[in-house]
Amino acid sequence: AGPFLARRPVENSVPRTICATLGRRGPHAYGAEPPVFGWWRPDGGGEVAAAFLRTPPHPPLLTRGAPGTSRGLADRLAAPLPGVRGDREAARDFARAWQERTGAALRTDRELRIFRLGALTPHRPAPPGRPRVAGPADRALLLRWHEEFARDIGEPLPGGEGAVDDALGRGLRTLWEVDGEPVAMAGSTAPADGAVRVVAVYTPQALRGRGYAGAVTAAVSRAALAAGAEHVLLSADLANPVSTGLYQRLGYVPVRDLVSITFTAAPADPSAARPTAARADPGRQALRDT
């Protein structure tokens, strides 16, 4: 599915980043169970037209695909699932099919929008302070801030401490400092085929509203451009107009919407609710463990 993901490098930046992390840190980078990859192509061959991956215990992550592919995938997956995430239309189709099959209740947890940097326009006047790439001495602070960031968005920290250590060791976290004291952070992913994602933008509650988040985001974005990134991307929660407005003022433009849906009250064995005849699926899917 690599060539399929590469055809839309911007909207597929999240699965591409996850795949790069798995390749670098191994199959247990996100949990004890190995990841699962899958793709869909039309009957009779042809190019891959949709893909998904799952890094347990996290829910499947779906790309955009042809109509019906997500429903077909829901028929194929037998293990209990906590939810689904990814391209908005694909994830919603999968969730509806899963609900029909298992009786699970659906709860939309987050609606996100992918943004791509156009012309960087830092805020003027800039807040006091300067950016600094985080180093080993900042580890305890970064761990605490990442945990607070995860609580703020209501999700577990992907990859745990190992992910923070990996980012720290690769120079992928930047702090904004005022008089030598860190007041905000932002991170980036390692480049993947010319794309860099800005991640983990965080300011402690007591320090918000002073422009620090915008300043550190601009600093990380500028550094990515200077390093040769062709696409600088980030995702923002649509329920937070402050952050979405901030990023657009910095020069980020909308690309595509994502959604995260949780399944609740599902039977203990979802396969028991599986229909005896699978829905028509105009293609074939391949699932693979690694």
Please indicate whether residue 69 or residue 249 has the higher confidence score (pLDDT).
249
Average pLDDT of the residues in 217-225: 98
Rounded CA separation 290/275 (Å): 28
Please indicate whether residue 98 or residue 160 has the higher confidence score (pLDDT).
98
Structure tokens at 179: 């008089």
Instruction: Name residue 112's amino acid.
Output: L
Provide, rounded to the nearest whole percent, the portion of the chain with pLDDT above 70.
90
pTM of the model: 0.83
pLDDT for the residue 24: 81
What's the chain's Rg over C-alpha atoms? 20
Q: Predicted confidence band at 257 (pLDDT cuts at 50, 70, 90)?
A: very high
pLDDT for the residue 280: 29
In CATH, what class is 119-250? alpha beta
What is the pLDDT of the chain when averaged over all its residues? 87
CATH 3.40.630.30 range(s) for the chain read 119-250
Q: What is the pLDDT of residues 110-129, one digit of tens each?
A: 999 999 999 999 988 999 99
pLDDT for the residue 263: 95
Q: Predicted confidence band at 207 (pLDDT cuts at 50, 70, 90)?
A: very high
pLDDT for the residue 4: 85
Structure tokens at 230: 């062709």
Q: What is the pLDDT of residues 150-192, one digit of tens each?
A: 888 877 777 778 889 999 999 999 999 999 999 999 999 988 8
Average pLDDT of the residues in 206-220: 97
Q: Out of 19-23, 153-157, 227-231, pick the least confident.
A: 153-157
Answer yes or no: is pLDDT of 269 > 80.
Answer: no
pLDDT for the residue 268: 52
- Cβ burial, residue 201 (10 Å; 0-12/13-18/19+): buried
pLDDT for the residue 76: 85
Answer yes or no: is pLDDT of 146 > 70.
Answer: yes
Task: Answer whether the bond into residue 57 is a cis peptide, omega within 30°.
Answer: yes
Answer yes or no: is pLDDT of 289 > 50.
Answer: no
Please indicate whether residue 266 or residue 142 has the higher confidence score (pLDDT).
142
Taking alpha carbons only, the member of 72, 29, 5 closest to residue 284 is: 72
Contact 184, 202 (CB under 8 A): yes
